[in-house]
Amino acid sequence: MDGKKKEEILRLLESNARYSAKDIAAMLGLDITEAKNEIETMEKERVICGYHALVDWDKTDDEKISALIELKVTPQRGEGFDRIAEKIYQYPEVESLYLMSGGYDFTVILKKATMKEIASFVSSRLAVIEEVQSTATHIVLVRYKDHGTSLAAPKKDMRMVVTP
């Protein structure tokens, strides 16, 4: 299968992971078996790494919050940032980990934790890593858009109907 069709499959699955191979085949004009085989191949090659549901936890009774933690670190000779990243992403509390440009080297995202759990994670897990120079913790107050999906309720038209 050509690279363009693979990208189209990936874009469709990224926009809606619930699309079946049959749906994708119909949308792209492919044979169902061809679409299914290509998806399976991309899963085996870890091009497709997983499937997720986007949940708006603010609409539930869950009181836990998300945090974004910036880390400044000292990279290791011959290993750069990879060994440090491996130490950090092994923690089950870590939702995402990114190597960044700018004032900080890493951004760590923790989801679904209490303030106490976040504070404990930063002080007892991150700050004690030898290569970590400093941290800056930010609490997510409101998520308006996540993974390309708007979580904000659409504005209702509050204008009154005027008739002649």
What pLDDT tens digit does each residue of the chain (164 aa) get?
788 999 999 999 988 899 999 999 999 999 999 999 999 999 999 999 998 887 777 778 888 899 999 999 999 888 889 999 999 999 999 999 999 999 999 999 998 899 999 999 999 999 999 999 999 999 999 888 887 778 887 777 777 778 77
Q: 86 and 127 in contact (C-beta within 8 Å)? A: no
Residue 136 burial (CB count, 10 A): 13
Beta strands in the chain (DSSP E): 65-73, 94-99, 106-113, 132-139, 145-146, 149-150
Helix, strand, coil percent content, the chain, rounded in steps of 5: 35, 25, 45
pLDDT at 53: 81
pLDDT at 114: 92
CA-closest candidate to residue 133, choices 47, 90, 71 = 71
How far is it, in rounded angstroms, from Cα 73 to Cα 69? 13
Can you read off the two tokens belonging to residue 99? 């190597």
How far is it, in rounded angstroms, from Cα 104 to Cα 108? 11
pTM score above 0.85: no
